[in-house]
Amino acid sequence: MQSLVELYDIETTTPSLGDNTADLDRLKKALSHSLQGRKPVVPFGRIAPVARAFRNSGFKGCAVVIHYPEGPRLVDFWGQAPEMLLGLALDLGTTHLEASLMDLLSGKVLERGTVENGQLEFGSDILTRIHFAATKSDGRTGLDLLHDRIITSIYSLANALTKRVRMEPNQIMALCVSGNTAMAHFFLKQDPYYLCREPYIPVVNGPDPFSASDLGLDLHPEAVIMVMPSIGSYFGGDLISGILSSGLDQQEETGMLIDVGTNAEVVVGNRDWLIACAGAAGPALEGGVARMGMRAQEGAIEHCTIDPENGEISYQTIGDKPPRGICGSGVIDLVAGLYLARIIDIRGKFRPRQPQAEGHLIEHGEGLAYVVVPAEESGVGESILLSQVDIDALMRSKAAMYSILTTITNQVGVSFQDLQKIYVAGAFGKHIAPRQAIVLGMLPDLPLEVYNPLGNSSLAGAELMLNDVSVRERCRDVVAKVTYVELNVNQEFMIRFSGSRFIPHTDHTLFPSVPFYKESG
Amino acid sequence: MQSLVELYDIETTTPSLGDNTADLDRLKKALSHSLQGRKPVVPFGRIAPVARAFRNSGFKGCAVVIHYPEGPRLVDFWGQAPEMLLGLALDLGTTHLEASLMDLLSGKVLERGTVENGQLEFGSDILTRIHFAATKSDGRTGLDLLHDRIITSIYSLANALTKRVRMEPNQIMALCVSGNTAMAHFFLKQDPYYLCREPYIPVVNGPDPFSASDLGLDLHPEAVIMVMPSIGSYFGGDLISGILSSGLDQQEETGMLIDVGTNAEVVVGNRDWLIACAGAAGPALEGGVARMGMRAQEGAIEHCTIDPENGEISYQTIGDKPPRGICGSGVIDLVAGLYLARIIDIRGKFRPRQPQAEGHLIEHGEGLAYVVVPAEESGVGESILLSQVDIDALMRSKAAMYSILTTITNQVGVSFQDLQKIYVAGAFGKHIAPRQAIVLGMLPDLPLEVYNPLGNSSLAGAELMLNDVSVRERCRDVVAKVTYVELNVNQEFMIRFSGSRFIPHTDHTLFPSVPFYKESG
């Protein structure tokens, strides 16, 4: 396994009248031996510092080589081999950036950390930012600002993480970035205008590696920057990372990957073929729909149960803090609980006469709402509610999700039962209880062990790429192999969507493990 | 023959929902077909402009590709194929820069021009500039200033030449530079400190190609810059150019290349082997020794003859202007004429009693001087003289030259008679009359047709490199093949030098065609 950046011990003879080749050529020749004859290229700006360091350390030491696809690049020379060789893996999320500081010598993660995406000020969702990118003020475009913010956020994260190991950002020699296509455009300062306009064309899917100085990011000036390739506007590098980290592209048996972020993105396949699609199913599941919805962070109701006998609710918050809202997994648990206690019907509508609802339903705005946490227990000074509007939104999300899953498997003639593994990526995968999602008819009714949370697979993919140059080739294979199905223009999807707007489904035989209650309202 | 820069016609299908790959990836894929599957790399700074131009011209047009050693680089996209594709070949001379503006589509020279090297202000010779490079003032090093001057000189030359074809410097897509090792260091802004200190080590001999924006030179930002590799401090890229343009490295028969600039540089060899050396023989031959010496420019006495019977002198100046001084070839003619008229003896000393000297010898400073042109005929208001001191200097130069030639041929066991061709590069080669140099014992006594003037072979080599990427490989072969002999530490050279300090030589049998006069003073 060859890391993206490697060190090579160099020891050469000292120049003399009989051996008077130039400093840099002497170093390159010696290094070429270590590289099995491949000739390293030295970027113009590195000629002077590398040659000087080589001479000053007595024509021996440690050459720093970055493996570009087109060949090795010699970027620095150190008199002494360092204890660690820093690389940064980065998940470029819409709301948060998460990074792993890695030691490329051992391949181990040294530190992990998160910062808020500095672009939030210009819009919490991608679409708002895409529109903002086209604006201009004081001679700067919105894109300039969005780009600057992201660079600043990355630097602050790099700074915080390197500090923890008593090093500096300029000692980072490589950065691998994974994110959705729009975030990648902001990062690369590329115009996102056509991303959200039919036929949804990015400027670039697979940018060639470049250097930190190209980007104006204060890492080592020749730190290599690699961006995980995307496949289209709605299929970003974060999902390629998911495929890499799940290993879907290397398995003999067919599996599925579900990544729920702003969109729900789904990949089905194995080492021979991969099919993918994306659809708008996400907001409800990321805390974006429920009025009291929030991201999976401290004080969020992560899980809850409703006693089907007496309607009593019990919940659990992240960090055991007083509840401040409900995150995606909490909403799913809650609505599943409401259904099993028959407080809502198969259409997701409140049944106010149901005894278990007693004391929990109040009039709120245009309709009823369920009191999850009374004001006196809440961490925000008011009751935490789930309104009919919230439930309706979740019903649409869960219907979209299940329709996506059935449409894509149907597309390739695979039944859910054929799937050996279903990988669930992201915060959604980490917190969700698949059982409750099955009750709602959001996920197929399969044995729970089929479901595997992946964690932050976008970050994991970036880590893989840092540690192993061959992952680059794997990426290329994946990109070439994936067939992308555009659901926005898919008739079948629309038909399936209608059938999925009941709990668990119009066709309840699809969910044998879920109780089916015919009566409504 | 593949030019360094090439255009490829591209026509792709328009993006659609069914074919929604990114703009740049679409272009790269189409281009890769034209490149027989090789994948072009797009530099970071070119992603946006190239993708935009591709889209704006309806996804068809003309891709501009530069062939780097590590692979093709896509640097621009034009809606319409241009009539010309500009490249600049440049000879980076110590006193002058000479350039050819070329059309890389036809391989033809469009324009040629010369400017004075803007570094002259900081020293007319290389050694002075090397010392100046180490100075500092106002926070800038001498090297910074020397570098800036050369960049300014190049830009002004590029500007003048492009203007003549109604184009702009930023339309130049490639620059190939050939010069001595010190000039290459100034151009690359590399510290020349060790060039002139034993064991005479350059920072870099063979820099990798880089882009104009790396250098801050206002050509096309991604114009490729290639510097002809050097072999050592005293064996520069200009001489590699000489080898390339003479074809010495490709010929079956053994030949010799003589390049007289600040140093005399000599290469002997054929397609199987090359041996080279350099020595300080030059100044007298470049107008640097004689008090009235000057470069081969207007008003310089280029040729002269002395009637051996009556001592009458006749001369010819460049541009037929009133004489202002004597250039290298003039000095050689003059001293050879003085010898044949027996005005000087075999040691090069004046013979004042010789009748042919009458009316030409005057007392001057510490000794005698020969009046070449009386004040009334001269273009500088005073007589043009050749003093004993001047002749002594020429005697050292000619001795050095002949010693270099004998030492190097002896090194490889080749006699002068084995040489099928002797190429004489530069202004020296262009103006010199080999016959007079033979009389002096400077060049071996061979039939005159053996001698071939090469012209500005430094420039010619740069032109070759622009027109044909395979020349790069030829360069590498030459660099690998050349054995460099350091004469500064060569015992044999010193012995030969002593024997060569007579006209034509101590061993006059070496010069059967030259009259030998025993008597002295």
Distance from CA of A484 to the nearest CA of B (A): 9
For chain A, 521 residues long, give each residue's pLDDT as a single digit of tens: 899 999 999 999 999 988 889 999 999 999 999 999 999 999 999 999 999 999 999 999 999 999 999 999 999 999 999 999 999 999 999 989 999 999 999 999 999 999 999 999 999 889 999 999 999 999 999 999 999 999 999 999 999 999 999 999 999 999 999 999 999 999 999 999 999 998 999 999 999 999 999 999 999 999 999 999 999 888 899 999 999 999 999 999 999 999 886 678 899 999 999 999 887 764 445 444 556 778 778 999 999 999 999 999 999 999 999 999 998 889 999 999 999 999 999 999 999 999 999 999 999 887 899 999 999 999 999 999 999 988 998 898 899 899 999 999 998 999 999 999 999 997 777 777 899 999 999 999 999 999 999 999 999 999 999 999 999 999 999 999 999 887 766 788 888 888 888 999 999 899 999 998 876 54
- φ, ψ (nearest 5 deg) of residue B355: -55, -35
Q: Which residues of A touch B210 (CB under 8 A)?
A: 43-44
**Chain position carrying tokens 């961490």:** A379
Distance from CA of A211 to the nearest CA of B (A): 8
Most confident of A348-362, A503-517, B101-115, B424-438: B101-115
Find residue B61's DSSP bridge partners. Answer: B10
A70: nearest CB among B41, B51, B210: B41
pLDDT value for A260:
81
Beta-strand relationship, A136-137 and A108-116:
unpaired
Nearest to B390 by CA among B334, B435, B433: B334
At B295, the pLDDT band (50, 70, 90 cuts) reads: confident
B12 CB-side CA count, 13 A = 31
B203: nearest CB among A23, A233, A484: A23
H-state helical runs in B2-136: 23-34, 47-56, 126-133
| C-alpha to C-alpha distance for B498 and A198, rounded to whole angstroms | 85
| C-alpha to C-alpha distance for B23 and B210, rounded to whole angstroms | 26
Q: Which residues of A touch B488 (CB under 8 A)?
A: 17
Calculate the CA dihedral of residues B282, B286, B292, B294 and round it to 10 degrees. Answer: -160
How many C-beta neighbours within 10 Å does residue B266 have?
26
| C-alpha to C-alpha distance for A371 and B81, rounded to whole angstroms | 70
Coil/strand/helix, residue B203:
coil
pLDDT (tens digit, 9 = 90+) per residue, B143-188?
Answer: 999 999 999 999 999 999 999 999 999 999 999 999 999 999 999 9
Closest chain A residue by Cα to residue B187: A44
pLDDT (tens digit, 9 = 90+) per residue, B205-241?
Answer: 999 999 999 999 999 999 999 999 999 888 899 999 9
Does the predicted interface ipTM exceed a cut of 0.90?
Answer: yes
Peptide bond between residue B199 and the one before it cis (omega within 30 degrees of 0) = yes
Note whether B199 contacts A16, CB cutoff 8 Å. yes
| C-alpha to C-alpha distance for B2 and A297, rounded to whole angstroms | 60
| C-alpha to C-alpha distance for B396 and B17, rounded to whole angstroms | 80
Quick check: B371 and B312 in contact, CB under 8 A?
A: no
Q: How far from the centroid of its chain's Cα atoms is residue B454's Cα?
A: 11
| C-alpha to C-alpha distance for A345 and A361, rounded to whole angstroms | 15
Peptide bond between residue B512 and the one before it cis (omega within 30 degrees of 0) = no
Q: Which residues of A touch B191 (CB under 8 A)?
A: 48, 52
Biggest CA pair distance of chain A: 101
Residues A1-18 as b or e (16 or more Cβ within 10 Å = b): eebbbbbbebebeebeee
Sequence-separated (6 or more) residues with CB below 8 Å from residue B86: B101, B102, B103, B104, B110, B162, B167, B171, B172, B173
Biggest CA pair distance of chain B: 101
At B287, the pLDDT band (50, 70, 90 cuts) reads: very low
**Chain position carrying tokens 């890695």:** A102
pLDDT higher than 90, residue B499: no
Q: How far from the centroid of its chain's Cα atoms is residue A467's Cα?
A: 19
Residues B297-336 as b or e (16 or more Cβ within 10 Å = b): bebbbbbbbbebeebebebebbeeeebbbbbbbbbbbbbb
| C-alpha to C-alpha distance for B100 and B76, rounded to whole angstroms | 23
Nearest to A243 by CA among A379, A119, A16, A425: A425
Note whether A190 contacts B48, CB cutoff 8 Å. yes
The burial class, CB within 10 Å (0-12 / 13-18 / 19+), for A475 is buried
pLDDT mean over B112-133: 94
At B125, the pLDDT band (50, 70, 90 cuts) reads: confident
Q: Which amino acid, residue A30?
A: A
Q: How far from the centroid of its chain's Cα atoms is residue B360's Cα?
A: 37
Coil/strand/helix, residue B173:
strand
Give the start-end residues of each E strand in B261-373. 264-269, 274-279, 300-306, 313-317, 325-326, 361-364, 367-373
Instruction: State which H helix or E strand residue B1 sits in.
Output: none
Spell out the long-range contacts of A125-129 with Cβ–Cβ below 8 A and sequence spacing 24 or more: A125/A94, A125/A262, A126/A94, A126/A180, A126/A182, A126/A183, A126/A262, A127/A196, A129/A182, A129/A186, A129/A192
Q: Which amino acid, residue B134?
A: A
pLDDT value for A219:
98
Coil/strand/helix, residue A41:
strand
Q: How far apart are the first and last CA of chain B?
A: 61
B173 CB-side CA count, 13 A = 26
pTM for this model (two decimals): 0.92
**Chain position carrying tokens 């080279």:** B276
Coil/strand/helix, residue B229:
coil
Quick check: A93 and A129 in contact, CB under 8 A?
A: no
Between the alpha carbon of residue A488 and those of residues A266, A281, A327, B25, B179, the distances in Å are 14, 12, 27, 23, 62
Q: Which residues of B touch A198 (CB under 8 A)?
A: 17
Find residue A112's DSSP bridge partners. Answer: A100
Quick check: B454 and B426 in contact, CB under 8 A?
A: yes
| C-alpha to C-alpha distance for A125 and A182, rounded to whole angstroms | 11
B41: nearest CB among A25, A200, A208: A208
**Chain position carrying tokens 């003479």:** B246
Quick check: B170 and B219 in contact, CB under 8 A?
A: yes
Coil/strand/helix, residue B69:
coil
Quick check: A241 and A248 in contact, CB under 8 A?
A: no
Q: Which residues of A touch B215 (CB under 8 A)?
A: 44
Note whether B198 contacts A25, CB cutoff 8 Å. no
pLDDT value for A519:
64
pLDDT (tens digit, 9 = 90+) per residue, B17-45?
Answer: 888 899 999 999 999 999 999 999 999 99
Give A358's DSSP letter. Answer: T
Helix, strand, coil share of chain B (percent; to 5): 40, 25, 35
pLDDT value for A470:
95
- Which of B23, B151, B190, B201 has the most A C-beta neighbours within 10 Å, making it the best mutation to test the interface with A? B201
pLDDT value for A315:
95
| C-alpha to C-alpha distance for B347 and B499, rounded to whole angstroms | 11
- Which of B204, B205, B214, B230 has the most A C-beta neighbours within 10 Å, making it the best mutation to test the interface with A? B204
Q: Which residues of B touch A473 (CB under 8 A)?
A: none
Give B15's DSSP letter. Answer: P
Q: Which residues of B touch A472 (CB under 8 A)?
A: none
| C-alpha to C-alpha distance for B384 and B371, rounded to whole angstroms | 6
**Chain position carrying tokens 């008819």:** A441
Provide, rounded to the nearest whole percent, the portion of chain B with pLDDT above 90: 79
Quick check: A60 and A10 in contact, CB under 8 A?
A: yes
pLDDT value for A431:
76
Coil/strand/helix, residue A85:
coil
Sequence-separated (6 or more) residues with CB below 8 Å from residue B417: B446
Find residue A344's DSSP bridge partners. Answer: A350
- Which of A12, A13, A16, A25 has the most B C-beta neighbours within 10 Å, making it the best mutation to test the interface with B? A25
